[in-house]
Structure 1
Amino acid sequence: MKKTTFLLPIVVLVIAGLLSSVFIVSETQKALVLQFGRVVAVKEEPGLAFKIPAIQTVVYYDDRILSRDVDPLEVTPLDDRRLVVDAFARYRIADVNQFREATGASGDQAIEIAGRRLDSILRSETREILGSVSSNDILSSDRFALMLRIRNAAIAEARGLGLEVIDVRLKRTDLPEQNLAATFARMRAEREREAADEVARGEEAAQRVRAQADRTVVELVSEANRQSEIVRGEADAERNAIFAEAYGADTEFFEFYRSLTAYSRALQGGNSSMVLSPDSEFFEYLKQAERP
């Protein structure tokens, strides 16, 4: 009985020591084994691992891909058209030992410290790279190449923090609030100028069409008048030929017909009066009618 009482605490201590010497590294973690604050082992593979109880401690770090939103910053491209850029980055802890040395902390505190330093790197590279191109390049589809340049430049600097920058994206690229009104006015003036140019070109084209139409009208009317004069002349010639032929066939009858025509035109009803000598040639055929 006394022996059992003596061994039981020893067994408990041994079991507690064994349990405290075992630790588990999950698939989303990396671990550092510290002995008196100095790193003695790095555990990057998931599973069971061992440490010396009471002497060594374990510090865990996140092994997943992390995201970091960069606060909006103003950049000035080559054309001095200021832009507000909003970006974010994806990164992971590549060298956990170097990461601890760079941040001097563990857990969420280390992530926050590294995030602030990464912000500084990204803001510096973003300003430098976007400041070397025009605003049209930033706002166009070519900005994918710019994001790639920012990422590649940040990779080298982030390596000193034990971080691997995987991707950098520009989420939003806008004009500063104080520039929006001026930019809108400039865009409106440009559109109005383009509209005025289009109206002017349209008026010029309309004038050409109207001039061509007027010319065509004059040419058509002139040709029609020419053709009508030709037809009228031919008709008059034919009429004169018929009259000449008729006159040649019976001269006396033709003169009689012309006299009757003259009588019918001159002696019409109304208030018109004629003062002629009785022996006038005009009444020659009337005189012949009075003879017995």
Structure 2
Amino acid sequence: MTARITAILFVLIPLAFILYLATYIVQEGEQAVITQFGKPVAYVTEPGLKFRIPLVQAVQRMEKRLLPWDGAPENMQTRDKKRIYVDCWARWKVSDLSKFYTTLRTERGGQKILDDNIDSGVRNVVAKHNLIDLVRTTNEKLMYESDELESTGINRDVVKTGRERIENEILMTLKADLMDQYGIELVDVHIKRVNYDDQVKATVYGRMRSEREMVARLFESEAEEERNRIKGLTQKELDTIDGKMKQKAAEIRGKADAEVIQLTAEAYGRNPEFFVFLKKLEVYKAAMKSDTNLILSTDNELLSLLKSMDELPRRKENAEVEE
């Protein structure tokens, strides 16, 4: 009995080992190339338990899912002669396993061929478009742009193609060739970053400063216009107040003059001789100053009052004699 069990085990263990070597599992998201003495003899694209000739055939596993590609920034020139650095990323997968393995062998070989092809394709497409198409997708107003900036009349660069269409153009340019030559399906290509060359940076920053200076001058002009408007309104209000004040003063002065005239007329009506007397005194006061010399005849009207003043003592003496 023991010898029988030993014999069975002696047979089963090598069979199990051979069965282990003859089977392999392709995981979900994987595909495999079966090589025999280094040459591909079978391509497995479906997951599950598979069989091979042990010790003769080998299994080369490869990803069936999307693989990342991230390139280094490359210096290139746009259609409008601007030097820029363009950094791209892509997603790809092995669609034709037979062609891919025959030409490139490994995923590392696929990454290398993508380095060369995507760099060349991006360079050719970028050379056909202006810088504005690489950095913008539409002509919609940017958040930092203001109504004042638009009112300055600055000519804005117009987006004719846009970044999304350029990325799609790059994809379409490379996709067919990569599939036909290497069995690579290029699924997506995107521009990750666009950085300006130092010379272009100076030009861009200079333009930004110029635009902001124009906006600043516009604000200054509007402020000066508003200041003049406020000063005009203030002066107009002051002139209105001054006019009303002068009108009121004239009315008050007119009323006072009217009252003076009325009182003078009443006084003149009561005693005309006294009024004439006062007028003569005013004339004397104005004419006979300390530095004034007058040469008058004896019958001059100005002397009539002085004569009358000289006759008063005589009249008084005559009156006393008569008494």
TM-score (norm 1): 0.73
Aligned match of 1:280: 303
Aligned match of 1:149: 169
- Deviation for aligned residue 1:168: 1.9
Residues 12 and 206 from structure 1, CA distance in 2 versus in 1: closer, same or farther, beyond 3 angstroms?
A: closer
The letter of the residue matching 1:157 is: D
Residues 217 and 17 from structure 1, CA distance in 2 versus in 1: closer, same or farther, beyond 3 angstroms?
A: closer
The CA distance in 2 between the partners of 1:212 and 1:59, in whole Å, is 89
The letter of the residue matching 2:303 is: S
Counterpart selection for 2:128 from 105, 111, 132: 132
Aligned match of 1:22: 23
- Deviation for aligned residue 1:83: 1.0
The CA distance in 1 between the partners of 2:248 and 2:305, in whole Å, is 36
Give the match's secondary structure for 1:57: strand
The CA distance in 1 between the partners of 2:291 and 2:228, in whole Å, is 61
CA displacement, residues 167-215 of structure 1 (integer Å, 9 cap, x when unaligned): 2222221112344345434543454455446545655x36864895698
Paired residues for 1:255-270 under 5 Å: 255-258=276-279
CA RMSD after TM alignment: 4.3
Does structure 1 residue 170 correspond to structure 2 residue 171? Answer: no
The CA distance in 2 between the partners of 1:132 and 1:237, in whole Å, is 95
The CA distance in 2 between the partners of 1:40 and 1:113, in whole Å, is 20
Give the match's secondary structure for 2:46: coil
The CA distance in 1 between the partners of 2:113 and 2:189, in whole Å, is 15
1:121–1:157 Cα contact (<8 Å) kept? no
Deviates more, 1:78-87 or 1:36-45: 36-45
- Deviation for aligned residue 1:239: 3.9
Paired residues for 1:88-107 under 5 Å: 88-103=89-104, 105=105
The CA distance in 1 between the partners of 2:48 and 2:193, in whole Å, is 42
The CA distance in 2 between the partners of 1:165 and 1:16, in whole Å, is 42
Residues matched between the structures, number:
283
1:29–1:64 Cα contact (<8 Å) kept? yes
1:33–1:57 Cα contact (<8 Å) kept? yes
Give the match's secondary structure for 1:30: strand
The CA distance in 2 between the partners of 1:73 and 1:285, in whole Å, is 125
- Deviation for aligned residue 1:261: 6.5
Q: Any unmatched runs of 5+ in structure 2? A: 138-161, 317-323
Give the match's secondary structure for 1:68: strand
Deviates more, 1:50-59 or 1:271-280: 271-280
Residues 49 and 246 from structure 1, CA distance in 2 versus in 1: closer, same or farther, beyond 3 angstroms?
A: same
The letter of the residue matching 2:15 is: V
The letter of the residue matching 1:43 is: V
Does structure 1 residue 254 correspond to structure 2 residue 250? Answer: no
Aligned match of 1:83: 84
Deviates more, 1:254-263 or 1:41-50: 254-263
The CA distance in 2 between the partners of 1:154 and 1:225, in whole Å, is 88
CA displacement, residues 5-46 of structure 1 (integer Å, 9 cap, x when unaligned): 988765554333222110111224211223455544332232
Q: Percent identity?
A: 28
- Deviation for aligned residue 1:119: 1.9
The CA distance in 2 between the partners of 1:14 and 1:165, in whole Å, is 45
- Deviation for aligned residue 1:286: 5.1
The CA distance in 2 between the partners of 1:125 and 1:29, in whole Å, is 29
Residues 287 and 273 from structure 1, CA distance in 2 versus in 1: closer, same or farther, beyond 3 angstroms?
A: farther
Aligned match of 1:64: 65
